[in-house]
Amino acid sequence: MSFKNKVIYQIYPKSFQDSNGDGWGDIQGIISRLDYLKELGVDCLWLNPMTLSPQKDNGYDVANYREIDPRYGTMADFESLIKEANRRDMTIMLDMVFNHTSTEHEWFQRALKGEKKYQDYYFFRDGSPDKPITNWQSKFGGPAWQYVPSINKWYLHLYDVTQADLNWDNPEVRRECADIVRFWMNKGVKGFRFDVVNLISKANVEEDDPNLFDGRQFYTDGPHVHEYLKELNENSFGKDPSIITVGEMSSTSIENCVKYAGFDAHELSMVFSFHHLKVDYHNQKKWELQEVDFPLLKSILNSWQIGMQENDAWNALFLNNHDQPRSVSRFGDDQVYRKESATMLATIMHLMRGTPYIFQGEEIGMTNAYFHHIDDYVDVESRNYFSIMKEEGKKEEEIYAILQERSRDNARTPMQWTREENAGFTSGKPWLKVNANYNEINVEEERMDEHSILAYYKQLIQLRKKMPLIQDGIYEPLYENHPSLFAYKRKLKDEEIIVLANFYKENIHLDEAFDGYRMLLSNVDKEIYNQQLGPYEVAVLIKE
């Protein structure tokens, strides 16, 4: 399994590094930072979409799957990026958005002109202009059907109104998608991340949701999804065993993920699941706040570790990405104990069974943006929900408190490289405001401190590479009912490590002395385990 010892770094290209002063990150900017990524020790760079797009959803609305958006550079720039990454023993993973296309995509435009072939690429349905085909809701708010007067038809969009869902039941669509993957493989791409890929097989798009939730039971882990993924595997990336694939799974189950990412499943290498990132959603609703439900967080992480392990399937390990608030602000303390909480969270993820993903800036402890005016927010979802919450009668101050915790822009603020203006990201005006704390939190400062969060990440990455135990060992939960401790054991033959992590700022005393173990790693530079864990402290013990 070529992916078991790898560490993957996610680049949000728009916010990583701008090379030409237009305020928008680009491919040449990424190339200029490859030495930093090599020094960090990562193996593979996952890039969010850089193909042609009107950017209604930051590139997840693709207008042409085979063309680099000029805002990021040229195809020659992209080919140079692959070559330069390979020269440093790193590979490139691309984001494939195959559940939907932009309504500006040629296929959709031809459908609008009445071409039956391309109408069958999507879910177009005849119906009365004043009644959507079903009562399903879009994940970005509002109905999931949009009426087109010029052709007297509705089309399905589970996301933004400009993101029309593709009809995977049409074999032509499946052939097109396999062909797109092969196109990028021929360029030298060695990894693919498939966006919301478990939604590609819809059951009955003409059936109302009786519970008026949003219709997800009709399209999540749908009737033919495993068959379609096996076919995609066989016709594209499955031809090269060195290619790493990961599927983003929306509202999925362990049972399905075992099929997606089982070692003999012939579908994907691994999966992203999100249940653990909803433990602070009140009533399971993203835009309603509550404290992190720590017992639930532990229970979910443990059950996914065990469930995937027992079925020879593989997890992608992460707390951060371009759609999630910064984990140090969410699960830690980003003020007093930023370093301790950032390193504790990294440790529990990196030492689990699975492949760890680092989202840009996580390795220096970047925090939420805490913007307090709607004009500072760019994200379509945040702006939609700002209006929805206002209509519901919420006060602005309450809405901002929610956006500061939940907005996807928290993760998307430009990468903080230096103390220079705009954090060294651009010499122009950044597309999204830089986080105000870039003076204290930046790569330059972290590089100069041998006890920094960045230095700790490098240690963690090296540990995974040199210890087969971390790659292949069995996962066993410990202290499952402890109210503030997250702990587990990893075992391989006679080797054992124990991870003990304090999730809170109150000290913990543990009765167990763990005789016969010594300290392997500590985020507070403690040399001996003394049965005490301070605020957000993590201790990794190894059996003598």
174, 236 Cβ separation under 8 angstroms = no
Rg (CA), the chain: 23
- pLDDT value at residue 1: 63
CATH code assigned to 171-314: 3.20.20.80
46, 153 Cβ separation under 8 angstroms = no
Q: Which helix (H) or strand (E) holds 177?
A: helix 171-186
What is the pLDDT averaged over residues 255-270? 97
30: number of Cβ within 10 Å: 26
Q: What angle do CA 413, 414, 419 make, to 5 degrees?
A: 120
Q: Is 195 considered catalytic here?
A: yes
- pLDDT value at residue 432: 97
Judge whether residue 539 has pLDDT over 80: yes
Residue 108 confidence class, pLDDT cut points 50, 70, 90 = very high
What's the pLDDT tens digit per position in 365-379? Answer: 999 999 999 999 999
Judge whether residue 434 has pLDDT over 70: yes
- Helix 380-391 and helix 396-406, axial crossing angle in degrees, nearest 10: 150
* Residue whose token pair is 């705009």: 422
What is the pLDDT averaged over residues 379-389? 91
- pLDDT value at residue 461: 97
354, 270 Cβ separation under 8 angstroms = yes
Q: Considering the entire predicted model, what is its pTM?
A: 0.96
Question: For the residues of 394-441, what is the DSSP string, one character each?
Answer: --HHHHHHHHHHH-THHHHSPP---SSGGGGS-SS--SSPPPGGGGTS
- pLDDT value at residue 141: 83
What's the pLDDT tens digit per position in 455-503? Answer: 999 999 999 999 999 999 999 999 999 999 999 999 999 999 999 999 9
The whole-angstrom separation of Cα 517 and Cα 298 is: 24
CATH code assigned to 471-543: 2.60.40.1180
Long-range pairs of 51-59 with CB within 8 A, sequence gap ≥ 24 = 53/102, 54/102, 54/104, 54/162, 56/102, 56/160, 56/162, 56/163, 56/380, 57/140, 57/159, 57/160, 57/162, 57/163, 57/380, 58/14, 58/322, 58/379, 58/412, 59/14, 59/95
Tell me the CATH number of domain 106-165, given options 3.50.50.60, 3.40.50.620, 3.30.365.10, 3.90.400.10. 3.90.400.10
- The catalytic residue among 95, 160, 165, 195 is 195
Phi, psi of 303 (to 5 degrees): -70, -35
Closest alpha carbon to 112 in 149, 71, 74, 82:
149
The whole-angstrom separation of Cα 544 and Cα 170 is: 58
The whole-angstrom separation of Cα 540 and Cα 544 is: 13
What's the pLDDT tens digit per position in 115-129? Answer: 999 999 999 999 999
221, 250 Cβ separation under 8 angstroms = no
123, 155 Cβ separation under 8 angstroms = yes
- The catalytic residue among 18, 248, 379, 496 is 248
Q: Which residues contact 166 (CB under 8 A, 6 or more apart)?
A: 98, 99, 100, 101, 121, 122, 173, 177, 200
Closest alpha carbon to 85 in 114, 120, 46, 116:
46
The whole-angstrom separation of Cα 165 and Cα 452 is: 45
- pLDDT value at residue 215: 86
* Residue whose token pair is 């301790």: 340
Closest alpha carbon to 79 in 217, 163, 188:
188
483: number of Cβ within 10 Å: 12
- pLDDT value at residue 213: 75
297, 290 Cβ separation under 8 angstroms = no
Beta strand 316-317 with 355-359: parallel, antiparallel or unpaired?
Answer: parallel
- What is the DSSP code (8-state) at residue 105? S
- For all residues of the chain together, what is the average pLDDT? 96
What is the pLDDT averaged over residues 428-444? 98
What is the pLDDT averaged over residues 22-46? 98
Helix residue spans in 252-325 (DSSP H): 254-261, 294-310
The whole-angstrom separation of Cα 182 and Cα 375 is: 41
CA dist 345 to 2, 149, 508, Å?
25, 51, 17
What is the pLDDT averaged over residues 269-286? 95
Residue 415 confidence class, pLDDT cut points 50, 70, 90 = very high
Q: How far apart are the first and last CA of the chain?
A: 29
Judge whether residue 381 has pLDDT over 90: no
Q: Which residues of 60-73 are buried (b: 16+ CB within 10 A; e: fewer)?
A: bbbbebeebbebbb
293: number of Cβ within 10 Å: 15
Q: Taking the domains of the chain in order of start, what are their residue ranges?
A: 106-165, 171-314, 471-543
- Helix 294-310 and helix 254-261, axial crossing angle in degrees, nearest 10: 40
- pLDDT value at residue 191: 98
Q: Which two tokens stand for residue 366?
A: 């970047």
Query: Which amino acid type is present at position 152?
Result: N
- pLDDT value at residue 529: 95
What's the pLDDT tens digit per position in 177-215? Answer: 999 999 999 999 999 999 999 999 999 898 998 887 788
Query: Which amino acid type is present at position 171?
Result: P
What's the pLDDT tens digit per position in 287-343? Answer: 999 999 999 999 999 999 999 999 999 999 999 999 999 999 999 999 999 999 999
Beta bridge partners, 96, equal 194
Judge whether residue 2 has pLDDT over 80: no
- pLDDT value at residue 500: 98
